[in-house]
């Protein structure tokens, strides 16, 4: 099937993360159509906006923006009308709803969601913790962790842990290796949420083979033997069932989807821990 393309201009007075996420989530719903993204972050002055407008004029398309300055907004919308490029303020409908509900006017503060507040430093602390406790480096007191991921090799434990850290959760991860017993501290852990990450044997073997290929290593070991890998995964299932730890099959899940499921599980776990 042939694929068609369109220009998507994302104009923000902040980092542009909101626009990128919204634009990609919407564009992903259209099969056979891809967006050529033009991202313009930190647009906060007239000269900066004029440079953006010149690029929109060179490649007209759809324009999404998050600009809180009234003058900049008017200038961008006028330029879009001249070039025939449909434009939309992504946050304006949300602002209008909030204003109607709260009965208060908003204050124009570009990048207000990225302020150096307590929540920001909590995420930085979680990231430092997670990087220090990767791949089996458990904290001396496991209760320092919010989440501990376990699973066989190549189940995306590290990238999932880093994503969770960016959500403010201190996350450690521990690989399950055949013949290696689980640390007693993990079996007795109460405060952290322990989650087993699983995947199909075929998927694990494929990833491991690619890993060995990139390292130019021998691929004849049990590390990539389907039967041995299936036994590893079965052992992980049994271990999690024994301790009543939840499991997530990551075979067809993105890191973001896996992390979202873990955040939800952690919320329930935390409530139970507080109540106990």
State how far the Cα of 257 lies from the Cα of 135, in Å rounded to an integer. Answer: 21
For residue 211, give both structure tokens: 């890993």
Q: Are 32 and 4 in contact (CB under 8 A)?
A: yes
Q: Which residue has the tokens 């450690």?
A: 172
| Phi, psi torsion values for 158, nearest 5 degrees | -65, -50
In the sheet with 193-198, reading across from the earlier edge strand, the strands are 171-175, 147-151, 193-198, 247-249
Q: Measure the CA–CA gap between 179 and 44, rounded to whole angstroms.
A: 58
User: Which residues are annotated binding-site positions for ADP?
Assistant: 151-158
Residues at the binding site are 151-158
* CA R_g for the chain: 24
């Amino acid at each position: 099937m042939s694929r068609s393309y369109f220009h998507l201009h994302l104009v923000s007075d902040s980092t542009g993360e909101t626009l990128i996420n919204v634009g990609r989530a919407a564009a992903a719903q259209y099969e056979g159509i891809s967006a050529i993204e033009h991202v313009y972050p930190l647009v906060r002055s007239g000269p900066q906006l004029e440079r953006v407008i010149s690029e929109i004029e060179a490649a007209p398309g759809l324009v999404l923006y998050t600009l809180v300055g009234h003058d900049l907004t008017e200038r961008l919308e006028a330029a879009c009308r001249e070039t025939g490029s449909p434009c939309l303020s992504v946050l304006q409908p949300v602002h209008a709803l909030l204003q109607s509900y709260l009965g208060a006017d908003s204050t124009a503060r570009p990048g207000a969601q990225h302020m150096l507040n307590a929540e920001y430093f909590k995420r930085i602390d979680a990231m430092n913790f997670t990087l220090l406790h990767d791949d089996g480096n458990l904290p001396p007191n496991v209760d320092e962790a919010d989440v501990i991921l376990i699973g066989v090799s190549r189940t995306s434990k590290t990238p999932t842990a880093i994503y969770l850290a960016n959500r403010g959760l201190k996350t450690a991860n521990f690989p399950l290796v055949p013949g290696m017993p689980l640390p007693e501290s993990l079996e007795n852990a109460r405060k952290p949420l322990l989650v087993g990450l699983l995947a199909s044997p075929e998927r694990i073997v494929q990833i491991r083979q690619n890993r060995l290929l990139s390292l130019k290593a021998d691929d004849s070991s049990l590390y990539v033997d389907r039967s041995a890998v299936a036994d590893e995964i079965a052992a992980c299932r049994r271990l999690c069932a024994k301790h009543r730890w939840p499991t997530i099959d990551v075979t067809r899940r993105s890191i973001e989807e896996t992390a979202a499921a873990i955040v939800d599980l952690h919320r329930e776990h935390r409530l139970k821990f507080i109540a106990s």
